[in-house]
Structure 1
Amino acid sequence: MKTFLLLLLLAFSSVSFAEETTPLPSHKIAYPQGWHTWSSIAVSHRTDNNTVRAILGNEIAVNAARSGKHSPWPDGVILAKVVWKAGELSHWPQAIGPKAFVHAEFMFKDSVKYADTYGWGWARWVGEDQTPFEGGMQVCISCHTPVKDNDWVFTEPAWFPAK
């Protein structure tokens, strides 16, 4: 019986040790799990820093984007902006696409929790190792100030056909 309990304890202990967690940034927002499988809301190409971006959303965000109910975005929305340096595609030189990964950044809509930051929590994880960005939410707020009248969001959802 002692052997069984010891094996059981070791099994649970090894599971907790084996789990890797992404560190929290200074503003204590947890890394959103599963964002890699979210649907696309839009794409963008920033000409000022030569990056391309895929803007993804959780189910609430996608439903709001597809139904045109994103001004303002509803609570519960999480927007993900995945950023790469832009570069010429190897087999299609007339096109640009994603090259070196830069970062993944997120906006979390919760008008109560983030009342002090205009209803949004902002977070970013940098590089392939997804190191938490330590600049804090104020850096994000400063950048997003030009779109404060658009619920602090730069993204314009792309139109997707219903069929």
Structure 2
Amino acid sequence: MRSQTRKQALVMSAILLFAAGILAAAASAGQGPDPVQIWSHITETKPYTEWDGWPDHEGMQPGNSPHGVLHRVYVSPQAVSAEAAPVPYGSMVVKENYDAGQTLQALTVMFKVKDFNPDYGDWYWIKYSPEGEVQASGKPGTCVSCHSVVSDNDYIFLHVF
């Protein structure tokens, strides 16, 4: 039984590495990943809702603009296991942004992509509508400027390493 569980874990790790490689492939050409592929990855291939949150920031939490008055954060396994900044390449942070009535307003994503954005921690930012429509992606000025105040924490606000 333990052998089967170990094999399943190895297969899952291989799938995650393969998916991260596909998502990051366009970044090596300087274009950045395809936000449509990322949506598919985080909603179908490896649903973000199956990920954990930061240990010090789990469940529905009060939020701030531009992310809404409430939010819930999910963190990819490689990011949540990081003990120090920076998180490994391929890491993702997904934030569900809610209004006061707890209606989902947007999904915002940070994806760590090697050589995509070296001046800002190699983060690729995306904002989706609740239905998955890309509203912003790449290096949006509002994301970059706001997250720059926590550059020493790998541009991550909601978890302190």
Q: Same fold (TM over 0.5)?
A: yes
Instruction: Compare relative contact order (CA 8 Å, sep 6+) and give the higher one, 1 or 2.
Output: 1
- What is aligned with 1:71? 85
TM-score (norm. length: structure 1): 0.60
Gaps of 5+ in 1: 1-25, 88-98, 159-163
Would you identify which runs of 4 or more consecutive aligned residues in structure 1 move more than 3 Å?
47-50
Name the aligned partner's letter for residue 35 of structure 1. Answer: Y
How many residues are matched? 117
Out of 59, 67, 82, the residue aligned to residue 77 of structure 2 is 59
Name the aligned partner's letter for residue 46 of structure 1. Answer: G
TM-score (norm. length: structure 2): 0.60
Name the aligned partner's letter for residue 36 of structure 1. Answer: T
- Identity among equivalent pairs (%): 22
Structure number with higher strand proportion: 1
Give matches, 1:1-163, under 5 Å: 28-29=34-35, 30-31=38-39, 32-33=41-42, 34-41=47-54, 42-43=57-58, 44-46=61-63, 51-64=69-82, 69-87=83-101, 99-115=102-118, 117-126=120-129, 128-134=130-136, 136-137=138-139, 138-156=141-159
Could you list the per-position Cα deviations for residues 81-126 of structure 1 after superposition, in whole angstroms to 9, with x for gaps in the alignment?
1111134xxxxxxxxxxx1111111111123233354311111102
Structure number with higher helix proportion: 2
Q: Is the 8 A contact 2:96 2:106 kept in 1?
A: yes
Secondary structure of the residue that 1:124 maps to in structure 2?
Answer: strand
Tell me how far apart the structure 2 counterparts of residues 47 and 144 of structure 1 sit (CA, whole Å): 13
Q: Is the 8 A contact 2:62 2:70 kept in 1?
A: yes
